[in-house]
Amino acid sequence: MFALKEQKELVQELCMKIAKVHPEPHSFISVAKENCIKSNNQVLLDLLLEQIQYFSDMDDKDFESTFELFILVCSSIDEEKFGETSLKIYEKCKTFFKDNCERLNKTMQALLYVVPEGSKLKVFIDYIKSVEACGNVFQFVEHLEDVLEDIRDWNLEAENNIDVLITLLNMFKTSGYYSSAYLVSVTLFQSTQESKYLEEAVESFKKSNKWIDPSFLFEKKELIKDNQELTCVLEGDVEKLLKDGNQEAANKAKWFKLLKLGNGDTFKLNDLKTLLSVECVEDFLLKAAKENIVDVSINQIEETVVIHSLQHLELRWQNIKEDLSEFFENLESWKNMATQIKPQGFVEEEMQKIIAAN
């Protein structure tokens, strides 16, 4: 809790920032000052909450600093009741920033960490719905993986956690954006009774022809051959998991034996988040196709890649960074695990020209 003098200084600083965009700045400052002096905490809190509507008139720099100060001031006025107040802030932000995804993102990211533990997951689900309603799920998805680990903890405190987690999964399933974050989220289901939802989520991903996160191919993810089936490991090394005897992790990995790259999975070349340029990745895919490692179509006009099947591909990022040519030479040892190239449509002629040139 702040000392009274420091609290008053914070309130004064916040009021001066809000006054810049307030239609009646002098009246607002006067009322806020009076209630601050008299320590009318609840009245002061309610007054400050009413001012959120004016935050949207600030530029980005002022908005960010003002909102951070706003959270700090509200918590200092009444620390014990701040949990309830934070939920009110959330409701106000959702109302006034519903058409501004950037502001909605910034406020929700901050508020997710100050609302009461039992409400965090509910607020998070509501946040997803709010972002989806303003038509920009993608803008929020990039922040999701940073929050997923926290969701595991929030889930322990939340009531009816199964319902909200299913809502989370359904949000991804219907959004048309299938990412590693989506697959990580299904591992939030821990118990045997909940495993059917995990199976449904993985099966849904497997059957999807929607956009997939290219990190499955070109980031830290590994693809390994296991009993003639392709197992996709989301985090870490599957062999290490087995050696360590981590049964829980091994069980989670087992679910992803169902997940195979292929069947027309598609992604944008420009969406690749890799240590290499798009040109290098495209070059690699063509060389891999030439060596019968991967059955792939590249549409250079629409800048998309279609993976038809992939037998065995282990990406070693250190090798790629240190010596790209050495990495390509490793393709020679993979020939025996290959499938035939089956380029489709008008892509075939262009692919053959490029392959021949290499």
Residue 190 lies in a domain: no
Residue 352 lies in a domain: yes
- Condensed to tens digits (0 to 9), the pLDDT of residues 220-238 reads 233 323 322 333 333 333 3
Indicate if 238 and 121 belong to the same structural domain.
Answer: no
Residue 182 lies in a domain: no
Q: Look at the chain and report how many structural domains it folds into.
A: 2
Question: Which of the listed residues 145, 174, 203 is the one where a domain comes to its end?
Answer: 174
* 3-state secondary structure string across the chain: CCCHHHHHHHHHHHHHHHHCCCCCHHHHHHHHHHHHHCCCHHHHHHHHHHHHHHHHHCCHHHHHHHHHHHHHHHHHHCCCCHHHHHHHHHHHHHHHCCCCHHHHHHHHHHHCCCCCHHHHHHHHHHHHHHHHHCCCHHHHHHHHHHHHHHHHHHHHHCCCHHHHHHHHHHHHHHHCEECHHHHHHHCCCCCCCCHHHHHHHHHHHHHCCCEECCHHHHCCCEEEEECCEEEEECCCCHHHHHHCCCHHHHHHHHHHHHCCCEEEEEEEHHHCCCCCCHHHHHHHHHHHHHCCCEEEEEECCCCEEEEEEECCCCCCHHHHHHCHHHHHHHHHHHHHHCCCCCCCCCHHHHHHHHHHHC
Indicate if 222 and 170 belong to the same structural domain.
Answer: no
Alpha carbon distance 232, 261 (integer Å): 9
- 216 close to 232: Cβ distance less than 8 angstroms: yes
Indicate if 145 and 221 belong to the same structural domain.
Answer: no
- 121 close to 154: Cβ distance less than 8 angstroms: yes
Q: Which of 255, 205, 196 is nearest to 229 (CA)?
A: 255
Of 36-40, 276-280, 330-334, which one has max mean pLDDT?
36-40
More confident residue, 278 or 197: 197
Q: How much of the chain, in percent, has pLDDT values that exceed 70?
A: 32
Averaged pLDDT score across all residues of the chain: 59
**Which tokens hold the place of 180?**
């590693």
Q: Give the pLDDT score at 208.
A: 47
Residue 204 lies in a domain: no
Question: Which of the listed residues 174, 195, 226 is the one where a domain comes to its end?
Answer: 174
Indicate if 19 and 148 belong to the same structural domain.
Answer: yes
CB atoms within 10 A of CB 215: 19
Q: Give whole-number Cα distances, 271 to 172, 286, 312, in Å.
A: 18, 18, 23
Judged by average pLDDT, the poorest of 20-24, 207-211, 295-299 is: 207-211
- 233 close to 180: Cβ distance less than 8 angstroms: no
Whether 13 shows a pLDDT value over 80: the answer reads: yes
Q: Would residue 245 be called left, alpha or beta, if left means φ above 0 and alpha means ψ between -120 and 50 degrees?
A: left
Indicate if 254 and 158 belong to the same structural domain.
Answer: no
Indicate if 222 and 147 belong to the same structural domain.
Answer: no
Indicate if 86 and 230 belong to the same structural domain.
Answer: no
Residue 187 lies in a domain: no
**Which tokens hold the place of 235?**
């985090």
Decide: pTM greater than 0.85: no
Residue 203 lies in a domain: no
Of 7-21, 34-48, 144-158, 246-260, which one has max mean pLDDT?
7-21
Full domain range(s) for residue 36: 4-174
Q: Give the pLDDT score at 333.
A: 40
Alpha carbon distance 342, 99 (integer Å): 45
Indicate if 18 and 149 belong to the same structural domain.
Answer: yes
Question: Which of the listed residues 117, 147, 174 is the one where a domain comes to its end?
Answer: 174
**Which tokens hold the place of 318?**
């250190």
Residue 8 lies in a domain: yes
Q: What is the dihedral of CA 266, 269, 271, 274, to 10 degrees?
A: 110
Indicate if 36 and 156 belong to the same structural domain.
Answer: yes
Whether 182 shows a pLDDT value over 80: the answer reads: no
Indicate if 219 and 163 belong to the same structural domain.
Answer: no
Q: Give the pLDDT score at 316.
A: 32
Indicate if 166 and 221 belong to the same structural domain.
Answer: no
- What are φ and ψ of residue 266, in 5° steps? -125, 145
Q: Give the pLDDT score at 334.
A: 36
Q: Give the pLDDT score at 164.
A: 63
- Condensed to tens digits (0 to 9), the pLDDT of residues 255-264 reads 232 233 344 4
- What are φ and ψ of residue 307, in 5° steps? -95, 115
The mean pLDDT value for 83-98 works out to 79
Residue 210 lies in a domain: no
Indicate if 132 and 222 belong to the same structural domain.
Answer: no
More confident residue, 209 or 4: 4
Q: Give the pLDDT score at 118.
A: 73
More confident residue, 256 or 205: 205
